[in-house]
Amino acid sequence: MKVEEIPDPAVYRLSFYLRQLEAFRHLNRNTISSKQLGEALGYTDAQVRKDLAYFGQFGHPGIGYRVEELIARLKKILGTDKDCHALLVGVGNLGRALLTYKGFPRKGFHLVAAFDSDPGKIGRRYGELEIQAMSEIVRAVGTLRIRMAIVAVPPESAQDAVNQLVKAGIRGILNFAAVSLTVPEDVFVQSVDLALQLEQLSFRMSLGTIQNSLAAPM
């Protein structure tokens, strides 16, 4: 199996499966079938089996999936079975907001270093971190053994920042700059599309208004 063979949306489905399994665990469910897991999320059972088959064999004949076991294995696959350190590049408005975003540590993600190219910001403290110069990235990545970075710089500076990160040994980049980035094959970029979230909301709101047209014969 190669990374390219797994389509992006399948990656999202893995996160949804995990969240749904955690909800089942909360309800004290010990086992679950692909049909039940699928139904809770609106997938066919074939889709669930196909998705999980990318990663191994998880079901037990006559039992289905063991909830606790599947949670542990999905977390391992997602790489979230242990705490993860990341660095931040770009301490503007967005960067400062991310430094104090409570959702990261809650899921085991910890920002352990922050960098900016603005000399006026270097040496200043935000939260628990002192902002460092970009030239310190290589040393920090080596010392702290960081493999993941969040890029929150203006679009025009993003590629340059990413080049420095890749050179320093970073292998995963969460990109908030609304531009495409060029990286080597062994580096992964996850781009955040906040407009997609508004589109989703827009969908839910407009659903009410299309119900009438759906009720009409088509």
Give, as ranges, the residues between 19 and 38 that touch its own copies (CB under 8 A).
none
Hunting for tokens 């980049």 — which residue is that? 173
What minimum distance in Å lies between the beta carbon of 80 and its own copies? Answer: 6
For residue 104, the surrounding DSSP H or E stretch is helix 103-106
Asked if residue 15 binds its own copies (CB under 8 A), the reply is: yes
What minimum distance in Å lies between the beta carbon of 117 and its own copies? Answer: 17
For its own copies, how many residues bind (rule: CB under 8 A)?
Answer: 81
Asked if residue 47 binds its own copies (CB under 8 A), the reply is: yes
Query: Binding its own copies by CB under 8 A: which of 104, 129, 133, 138?
Result: 104
Query: Binding its own copies by CB under 8 A: which of 21, 148, 162, 165?
Result: 148
Edge-to-edge strands, sheet with 109-116: 125-126, 129-133, 109-116, 84-89, 148-151, 172-175, 188-191
- How many whole angstroms separate alpha carbon 110 and alpha carbon 164? 21
What minimum distance in Å lies between the beta carbon of 31 and its own copies? Answer: 19
Which two tokens mark 210? 């299309």
- How many whole angstroms separate alpha carbon 66 and alpha carbon 111? 33
Asked if residue 142 binds its own copies (CB under 8 A), the reply is: no
What minimum distance in Å lies between the beta carbon of 209 and its own copies? Answer: 8
Asked if residue 106 binds its own copies (CB under 8 A), the reply is: yes
Asked if residue 62 binds its own copies (CB under 8 A), the reply is: no
Which two tokens mark 121? 């910001």
For residue 215, the surrounding DSSP H or E stretch is helix 194-215
Asked if residue 214 binds its own copies (CB under 8 A), the reply is: yes
The span of 23-31, 70-78, 130-138, 161-169 binding its own copies (CB under 8 A) equals: 70-78
Query: Binding its own copies by CB under 8 A: which of 123, 127, 142, 155?
Result: 155
Please answer whether residues 179 and 193 qualify as being in contact, where contact means their C-beta atoms are separated by less than 8 angstroms: no
Specify the pairing of strand 188-191 against strand 31-32: unpaired
Asked if residue 174 binds its own copies (CB under 8 A), the reply is: yes
Please answer whether residues 184 and 166 qualify as being in contact, where contact means their C-beta atoms are separated by less than 8 angstroms: yes
Site for its own copies in 75-94 (CB under 8 A): 76-80, 84, 86, 92-94
